[in-house]
Each structure stands twice: as C-alpha cells, then as structure tokens.
Structure 1
C-alpha cells in the first residue's frame, strides 16, 4: 500500500465525544482509548449490566458519566447538544437477545437510533456500530457492495439503524464477530463462549463446524471507531467491513485452537444447532485497509488472554457475562 492511499487525519476540531452504551463490552474498551487521545468523553448508558467496567477510569478529569436511555429523547437531546461527535453503540446486541424481547430490540435499535439522528446538529459527526449480520446468507467473498439481506431481527434492526446513520452522512462499521477480554466481559460471543465451555466442560459438541466466520478482537473493534472519528471526511455516508482476512476462519479452526490450549479438552462436532444469521462466508476488508486501518490482535493472542481470565471466574461472574 502506497502512502498516498492512506486517509489524512481530520479531527482537529473534535474535542468532545459522546458514547452511547459506553459502559458495555465494546464501549468500556474504547473509552480509555478516546481519553488517551485527549478527547473529552461523555458516557451515556443505562448501566443495565452495571457501572463497574468504568471504575478503572473514574478518576479521569476528561470523563463524564451520565445515566440515561436513548429512548428518552428529551434527555438525550440535552446531552447531545454541545458535543462534536457521537459514537452510537447503545443497542440490544445479538439475535438471541433480540429474539428474547423483539419489541424492546426494535424500539432500542431503530427508534433509539432515530432519536440520536433527529437531534444531531450541523457539523456533528456520528459513527455507528453495525454488524456483518446485516448481510444474511452470502456466497463467496463479501464486500461492502454485497447486497444486504438480514435473516434475523438483530440483523434487520441494525441494518435499519445503519441506513438512518448513513442518510445524515454518518459512518457505519460492519463489525466481524468480536471476541476477547473487555472490562465488561461477554461470554455469549462465539470465541469467548467456546473458550468458557472448553475450560468448564472439557468436552462438548460444536455445531456447523465448517461454517466460515470472520473475527475481530474487541480492542481492534474499539480502535476502528477511533479511526473513523479521526478520518471521517474519507468515510462519511459509507459502510465499512471491519476485521482482518487472516481471521476468516471456520468455527472448527477456532475450536481446534482453543482445544490445543486447554489441557484435557476434546471438542467434537454435532449435527444439531444452527446459526440463524447464516454467517458462512469470507469477508473482504480491503476498503478500510486502504484508508490505513489494520487489525493488530490475532486469534491466538485473544484466546491466550481469555485463558488468563475465564478459568478464574466465579460461577456468578460467568452467569452475569452470558447476557441472555
């Protein structure tokens, strides 16, 4: 890649950033990065999963923490009024959680996003957490030009939210399946879930092992939002796949890597179980890579980090991290 293809940084006038859902799995990893880069940061979160993930950074002078819900439009509007940029993470995430309460998922993921968009002021930037689940069933290699056809409520509500964001010039980041350790750890994500099962059960069945998925460490996912904030002019009104081709892997590949790192573990394959999002394809990340973004944390490193934490969690902690 030649230096001329790398997008110039254009965030000189961006001082204050609002992060909706900032105490969650992705947000609690991202907030320290934004603070380290010198931004004033407002976390706007309902704290459904607690405020503990923000404790390590509570003393930071540039951090403001506000309890709020994106469905409370009047409150949200007040908080949004004097920020330069919004990173919109607040959502019901994953098809199991959306299936559990479809009405809430639709309201939060679509109406909540409308509330953000409708109260933006001229010049404010917005970066949105979209998902590869927007694509649905795809044959071959998936690019940003691949038509989206979501198969689940989660995928369709996130696709609707992305459309709203892009219509006002915002950036939609279609994240690969995220994994790894975060201050607000989740164990319902595929790699994290498999690692937990390997540690706790030593032997279990994996369904659809040959399905190809694409993965992204949570730190790299967080970095992508900071990158989009800082290169907004080159990304405005567009969608970008975020991940790395080196982690276009089958579920079996991931399971074998985990198995190799857990003594006495034996993962077998089952014919029962199905991924309702039908994620079985490779994804191209050439579009965002051309601007200068590249993932840094590989699968092996992410699994090794998980194996420092998961074996030492209490049953209560594990249950709290399963989300649904």
Structure 2
C-alpha cells in the first residue's frame, strides 16, 4: 500500500511510520520541518520512506505529491493552543485551509481513503462526562474550532466525492521522543524531575486528562487503516479510556522516579480544558481498538526506553 503521511516527521508520525514500514508499506512523508528535522527521521529515510518538503498551503505541490497514492494519513497541524488564540488566522490557514487543500488534491488524484487527526479539543469543557462521539462539540479555542471544521470538511468531501474517510479524535498523547516544541505536560514534568527542579502546574491541578500512550495511538491508526472501507467521515475517540488529574500525574511520575520535589501552582492558561474523559467503546467495537497501557505502565516504559 502506498501511503502519504502529512506531518510524518513529527512525534506521532515518526512512531506511526516506523510501524507502517514493518508491514511493507510504501511511505511518502509530506513535511515542512518547521518543528522537526531530517536527522530525527534518519532511520525512516534509510528504511526507504520518500520525503517531500512542503506546506499544506502549497496546493500544486500537494497535487503532485499525491500521484498514485492509495491512502492519506493527515497528521500535519498547528497544535499550539495558546498560539491559536494569539494568531487565529494563522491556525486557520494551516489547520482548515491546509486540510481543504489536501482534500482537493486527494480527490483529483483518486485516493482510496483518508484518515484525519482530530482532537479532544473539539469537546471544550463538556458538562456530561465521559464524552462520546455523539457529545455536542463546544470548542473553547480557535484550535478546537479548526479541528471541528476539518472533521466536517472531511465528511463533506467524502460524501460528495465518494471516498473512504475517518477522523480520529486524539486525546493527550505521550511517549518517548516527543518534540520539544510541542512537548506535553508529561515530557515537561520528566525534564524537571530529572533536573531536580520544582514541577509547575497551571491552576489547581484538579483538571483531568486522558493520557494515551503512543504505541496505543499508533495501533488505533493502523487498525483504522484496515477498517476504512465504506466509512464516510466516521468519527472515533482514540484514548486510554481512563482520566487522571494533573496532580495525580505528578504523583505517579515522582513515584516512578522515586523522588520528592516541590509542586508549584501558577495561574491557569487561557483555552485549557478543565475536565476531559472519554468513552472508547465505539473505537473498540468498530475498529477493534484495544489500548494496552495504563498511565503508570506507559510512563514506566517511556522512562525505561529513554535511558
């Protein structure tokens, strides 16, 4: 299978492509390298993946790049929530207009299917938890609105032009080799702990997140690829199915490291969600998705692999 992966040099992309290559797929990485480098994917290039340097805003290059491609996995995005608040027009150009360019180019090349990486950010701060795919979206940041718009465009194009598609709503992904530019709270906590510095938590630390280990997320994407046929913009939550507060996360990490450090609570950030938990029942049922790691297991493996 010939697969084009946008944002393939990023954190999720690197892990996914290494796994896809093991299944003898032909991989094309479409990447602008704004937050990554070719050095980070040297092993992937050596394994035969083709690199095309380009932006989602370059429709002509996208059109050429998608020639003879079977399926597209769309990971490229501006995922910086605070930045999307400061510069919503830039976020929209990449996340929405860029996604539409990809869809248009995909249609012109007659691709079979497309998987779009969406986000839990589309839910905002829901009143009823856990959220399901039927929960009414209520984004509280331009980034969340961008991802929701992307989902609708994928569904609309899929229905109109009759190709297979799915949007996967990723929750808080973590794992080894996460890029510093977009490092999540886990990576930042680990850096602080390893340097014996206080942990900084925005707000009271009671806000909850569902942290999904990168290996489980990759499994979810690959199983979706195998189940794409006949789907028209179907939506699935990809998560661990269990939420933890940021305070709990800090305690688990400190216990794994066997350290006691000060925890500093600072002002909450604009656009951050308060509570987040989800049901993954639909993904389990229709995609055969089956996460294998709870938070402590994933963090322990992450720490062991980084040493």
TM-score normalised per structure 1: 0.84
Q: For residues 88-115 of structure 1, give each alpha carbon's deviation from its aligned partner in whole angstroms, at most 9, with x where no partner exists.
A: 1111013034345433211110110010
Q: Return the match for 1:254 from 224, 244, 249.
A: 249
Q: Return the match for 1:102 from 88, 91, 94.
A: 88
Rounded Cα–Cα distance in structure 1 between residues aligned with 2:2 and 2:291? 26
- With a CA cutoff of 8 Å and minimum separation of 6, indicate the structure with the bigger relative contact order: 1
Secondary structure of the structure 2 residue equivalent to 1:265: coil
Q: CA deviation at 1:175?
A: 0.6
Q: Which runs of 5+ in 1 are unaligned?
A: 1-14, 313-324
Match of 2:234 in 1: 238
Match of 1:54 in 2: 41
State the aligned residue count: 295
Root-mean-square deviation (CA, aligned residues, Å) is: 2.1
Q: For residues 54-101 of structure 1, give each alpha carbon's deviation from its aligned partner in whole angstroms, at most 9, with x where no partner exists.
A: 11122224x211111111100100111210100011110130343454
Q: CA deviation at 1:262?
A: 2.6
Judged with a 3 Å threshold, the aligned counterparts in structure 2 of structure 1 residues 305 and 94 are, in CA distance, closer, same or farther, namely farther
Match of 2:150 in 1: 161
Q: For residues 176-216 of structure 1, give each alpha carbon's deviation from its aligned partner in whole angstroms, at most 9, with x where no partner exists.
A: 11111137566631222222222224423423321121111
Judged with a 3 Å threshold, the aligned counterparts in structure 2 of structure 1 residues 298 and 129 are, in CA distance, closer, same or farther, namely same
Rounded Cα–Cα distance in structure 2 between residues aligned with 1:241 and 1:156? 17
Contact 2:240 2:293 in 1 (8 A): no
Q: Which runs of 5+ in 2 are unaligned?
A: 159-164
Q: Return the match for 2:135 from 146, 152, 170.
A: 146
Secondary structure of the structure 1 residue equivalent to 2:11: coil
Q: For residues 217-257 of structure 1, give each alpha carbon's deviation from its aligned partner in whole angstroms, at most 9, with x where no partner exists.
A: 12222222211111112643211000122x31111211110
Rounded Cα–Cα distance in structure 1 between residues aligned with 2:89 and 2:215? 31
Alignment of 1:189-204 (within 5 A): 189-204=184-199
Judged with a 3 Å threshold, the aligned counterparts in structure 2 of structure 1 residues 71 and 205 are, in CA distance, closer, same or farther, namely closer
Match of 2:10 in 1: 24
Judged with a 3 Å threshold, the aligned counterparts in structure 2 of structure 1 residues 184 and 210 are, in CA distance, closer, same or farther, namely closer
Contact 1:53 1:184 in 2 (8 A): no
